[in-house]
Amino acid sequence: MTADRAPSIVAPDLMFHEVSVTYPGRSVPALDRVSLTAAPGQITAVVGPNGSGKSSLVRTLLRRVPVSHGAVRLGGEALTAFTPSEIATRIAIVPQREEPVMPLRVEEFVALGRHAHRSAFGGPQRIDLDAVQHAIDTAGVRNTVGRRTDTLSGGEWQRVRIARALAQAAPVLVLDEPTTFLDIAHEMAVFELLDALALRGHTVLLVSHQLNLVARFATHLVLLSAGTVAAAGTVDAVMRGEILERVYEWPLVVTRDPAVGAPALLPLRGAGRRR
């Protein structure tokens, strides 16, 4: 995973153009004319407080929410032009939550990522089997192979889900809070994995609330607030005390961490500014 490795894939960019989403029965839109672009070869992160619309953004890609305005474009083409199967070979999405009701073995679970690639007939092809093994190794879950998904720890479960997304072998990767339940080591491992994938040329869109980690790995940062884009740009441009305080409605201070050279957010105590 050296930094000067040439990108090995050419991925399209993922663009949200003036996307508005209003859930049925609600008067306030979850997303109000949100525009953002995730370019290939870098990590684009979407951050914001709870309810700011981060997950709704991901749901529009899943086609599970009504889009009242705007469009999502993949490499310039509207998403609506693709069938669900075609989308799955182009965009791999790891939704925020998933509860296994019918447990599978890890390798069976990861193999489901190949569903969109496989034809209705016949068993898995060589390419499917290779993709699954590669995904398992890349996600670092080799040691869980053979176990059932309902026996995995929270962290293992998370990474196995990422492995499944990797098995899709899609150029675009979208992850919604992929590091919940992960400890420091595993969290870092996931971010480093995403970094490596971005370096290889993938388009990576990451929804996360881990601002500090995001600050170190993301190239492009989009800050959502109440369904609109409050700020977008480089990490330094967006991670500013005034902006963040306003959006998160909590006293905080942004420092620059010398060890990593990226902005770091420090939330302060609520009542007054004592330590």
Partner 1 sequence: MTHLAVADHANTDQNARLVWGGGLLALALVLLLGLSIGAVSLPFGDVLRAVRGLGDESTMAIVRDLRAPRVLLAALIGAGLAMSGGALQGTLRNPLAEPYLLGVSGGAAVGAVMAMSLGVYQPALVTLSAFVGAAVSTMLVIAIARGVGGSGDTRLLLMAGVVVGAFANAAILVALADAPPERLRGALWWMMGSAADATWPAVARTLAALLILGGLLVWRARELDVLALGDEPAAALGVDVDRAARRIFLIASWLAAATVAAAGLIGFVGLVVPNLARALGARQHRTMLLLSALYGAILLVAADLMARTLRAPADLPLGAVTALVGVPFFLMRLRRLAQ
Note the residues at the interface with partner 1 (CB under 8 A): 59, 62-64, 83-89, 92-95, 97-105, 108, 112-113, 115-116, 118, 120, 146-148, 150-151, 164-165, 168
| Cβ distance to partner 1 smaller for residue 82 or 200 | 82
| Cβ distance to partner 1 smaller for residue 124 or 241 | 124
As measured in angstroms, the least distance from the Cβ of 162 to partner 1 is: 12
Question: Torsions phi, psi of 236, nearest 5?
Answer: -65, -35
| Cβ distance to partner 1 smaller for residue 165 or 231 | 165
As measured in angstroms, the least distance from the Cβ of 93 to partner 1 is: 4
As measured in angstroms, the least distance from the Cβ of 212 to partner 1 is: 27
| Cβ distance to partner 1 smaller for residue 153 or 234 | 153
As measured in angstroms, the least distance from the Cβ of 177 to partner 1 is: 13
| Cβ distance to partner 1 smaller for residue 59 or 159 | 59
As measured in angstroms, the least distance from the Cβ of 23 to partner 1 is: 12
| Cβ distance to partner 1 smaller for residue 75 or 241 | 75
Contact 43, 206 (CB under 8 A): yes
Q: How far apart are CA 95 and CA 165, in angstroms?
A: 10
Closest CA to 133 of 153, 114, 156, 152: 114
As measured in angstroms, the least distance from the Cβ of 116 to partner 1 is: 3
Task: Classify residue 189 as exposed, middle or buried by CB count within 10 Å of its CB (0-12, 13-18, 19+).
Answer: middle
| Cβ distance to partner 1 smaller for residue 99 or 242 | 99
DSSP secondary structure string, the chain?
Answer: --TTPPP-S----EEEEEEEE--TT-SS-SEEEEEEEE-TTEEEEEE-STTSSHHHHHHHHTT-S-EEEEEEEETTEEGGGS-HHHHHHHEEEE-S----SS--BHHHHHHGGGTTTS-SSS---HHHHHHHHHHHHHTT-GGGTTSBGGGS-HHHHHHHHHHHHHHT--SEEEEESTTTT--HHHHHHHHHHHHHHHHTT-EEEEE-S-HHHHHHH-SEEEEEETTEEEEEE-HHHH--HHHHHHHHTS-EEEEEETTTTEEEEEEPPSSTT--
As measured in angstroms, the least distance from the Cβ of 147 to partner 1 is: 6
| Cβ distance to partner 1 smaller for residue 89 or 138 | 89
As measured in angstroms, the least distance from the Cβ of 108 to partner 1 is: 6
